[in-house]
């Protein structure tokens, strides 16, 4: 991985497939995940981009499918949720990895910790459970230690994010989702472009690069598999809108 700060040129829709993260990419990061709501500009932009790209647009997010559909008002059909553990194809078919048997124990342990640590927030995603410490940064080390202990005991996969640690069912990641979409119409044969902000998006960046496309990191410059970088959510939306003119 290498640090990158180059701004990408406006995306040419011809032959491109666009894979977009949600939080920190299409929507600002907020203290509580449930406080992200639908946005008319974002919804309209995604609808127009999907038309320009002939349907080659998918959202790949750590959120649950229900949450993604709530925020995007159900306007994007190809979606990979929970980092790829649940995937809805462009034809509407659903592929789901069964939940791991260790999730109830992990959820209970995270909730027990949250009751004694004000500001910690537990999010149950069905196939993973996340412990957010954005409102309690002093508990970061405690949260990570508990997640490590539970991963060792249950066989769940620990996955770190921006001010969150998550225990997920073993299975597909965001890069696997990119590869799966590209094996199907209307994505097959297209040049993948993955846009995301978090460490969890590195699998998507790497997959896009390996398949002849590239990644775009959103946010502060860091070591990354992405080729380009955009400063934040506002700049990302502006860059996506420019693709409409390029099309």
Q: What would the pLDDT profile of 55-67 be if each residue is shown by its tens digit?
A: 999 999 999 999 9
Number of H helices, E strands in the chain: 7, 14
CA distance 83 to 141: 23
Q: In 3-state terms, what secondary structure has residue 232? A: coil
pLDDT value at 88 more than 90: yes
Residue 1 DSSP symbol: -
CA distance 99 to 104: 10
How many Cα atoms occupy the beta-carbon half-sphere of 137 within 13 Å? 4
Q: Mean pLDDT across the stretch 151-168?
A: 95
C-beta separation of 18 from 58 below 8 A: yes
pLDDT at 245: 79
Q: Mean pLDDT across the stretch 22-42?
A: 93
User: Which residue out of 21, 69, 176, 198 is catalytically annotated?
Assistant: 21
pLDDT-derived band at 2 (thresholds 50, 70, 90) equals low
* 21 counts as catalytic: yes
pLDDT-derived band at 164 (thresholds 50, 70, 90) equals very high
C-beta separation of 240 from 219 below 8 A: no
Domains of the chain: 2-96+171-246 (3.40.50.1000), 103-168 (3.30.70.1020)
pLDDT value at 97 more than 90: yes
pLDDT at 18: 98
């Amino acid at each position: 991985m290498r640090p990158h700060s180059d701004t990408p040129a406006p995306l040419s829709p011809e032959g491109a497939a666009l894979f977009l993260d949600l939080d920190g990419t299409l929507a600002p990061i907020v203290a509580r995940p449930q406080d992200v709501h639908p946005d008319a500009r974002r919804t309209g932009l995604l609808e127009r981009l999907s038309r320009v790209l002939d349907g080659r647009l998918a959202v790949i997010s750590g959120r649950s499918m229900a949450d993604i559909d709530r925020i995007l008002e159900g306007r994007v059909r190809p979606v990979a949720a929970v980092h790829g553990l649940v995937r809805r194809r462009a034809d509407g078919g659903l592929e789901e990895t069964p939940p791991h048997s260790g999730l109830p124990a992990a959820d209970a342990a995270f909730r027990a910790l949250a009751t004694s640590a004000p500001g910690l927030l537990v999010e149950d995603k069905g196939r993973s459970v996340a412990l957010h410490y954005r409102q309690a940064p002093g508990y970061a080390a405690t949260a990570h230690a508990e997640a490590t202990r539970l991963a060792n005991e249950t066989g769940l996969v620990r996955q770190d994010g921006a001010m969150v640690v998550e225990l997920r069912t073993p299975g597909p990641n965001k890069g696997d989702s990119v590869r799966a979409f590209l094996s199907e119409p209307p994505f097959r044969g297209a040049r993948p472009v993955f846009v995301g902000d978090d460490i969890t998006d590195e699998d998507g960046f790497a997959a896009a690069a390996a398949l002849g496309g590239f990644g775009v990191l959103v946010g502060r410059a860091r070591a990354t598999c992405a080729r380009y970088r955009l400063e934040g959510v506002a700049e990302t939306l502006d860059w996506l809108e420019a693709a409409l003119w390029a099309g």
